A and B are shown apart, each in its own frame.
Chain A
């Protein structure tokens, strides 16, 4: 039982490049979310999903796309990376009957 697995752990991108952050969970959780963590700003919700085929925007969705084709996977796509997207990204999942969310190990992304 691996929990929530995020890849990669570190990534450096050039401005304008695109990439996908991967997130997978093996707990059959319905809810999955992406957060970004910035110094002095705490964690902010980017996108979330309540089940396969259903996604919605969080607080800071601009510049990011998500999809949820399966219960297990919830990738986050950066369409055209910008320096303002330099951050630490966390994927989280929670079962409908769970109280707490479970987090991946985070991805430190630097856009130069």
Chain B
């Protein structure tokens, strides 16, 4: 069974600085998707960035980028020029891309709470 591990329950960063959140996963599959979701105090789950496993190029969305190391099964999120609005819980998630049933669900890490200090 696939698992997702976020080893940093809490992180903090100074405004305008860069922070990296870690995520590792375990799977025997070769085709899958990885996601980072942000959950602010409003509780809404917001997609930050996604990565298809078959793509070697790391995904980037404005100030957010990932370091995807498929062999090491690592998927870290880098937030550049941190802003106060980035303070939230961040979840790493995995979804298989094939297989009846397995590709229907997301498998989640436990989250990293990010504080941004002014």
Chain A residues proximal to chain B, CB less than 8 Å: 31, 33, 35, 40-45, 48, 50, 56, 58, 88, 90, 92, 99-103, 105-106, 108
Bound-state CA distance A98–B110 (Å) is 24
Closest 9 CB pairs of A and B: A103-B45, A42-B108, A106-B43, A43-B108, A42-B110, A45-B105, A100-B47, A48-B104, A105-B44
Report yes or no: B105 in contact with A40, Cβ–Cβ below 8 A: no
Bound-state CA distance A105–B42 (Å) is 8
Given A42-B91, A56-B101, A99-B52, is A106 in contact with B108 using a C-beta cutoff of 8 Å?
Answer: no
Interface SS of A by simple majority? strand
Chain B residues within 8 Å of A43, by CB = 91, 106, 108
Report yes or no: A108 in contact with B91, Cβ–Cβ below 8 A: no
Report yes or no: A50 in contact with B104, Cβ–Cβ below 8 A: yes
Report yes or no: B45 in contact with A42, Cβ–Cβ below 8 A: no
Report yes or no: A48 in contact with B111, Cβ–Cβ below 8 A: no
Additional A-B contacts beyond A33-B105, A48-B104 (19; CB < 8 A): A31-B104, A42-B91, A42-B108, A42-B109, A42-B110, A43-B91, A43-B106, A45-B105, A50-B104, A88-B43, A92-B45, A100-B33, A100-B35, A100-B47, A100-B50, A105-B43, A105-B44, A106-B43, A108-B43
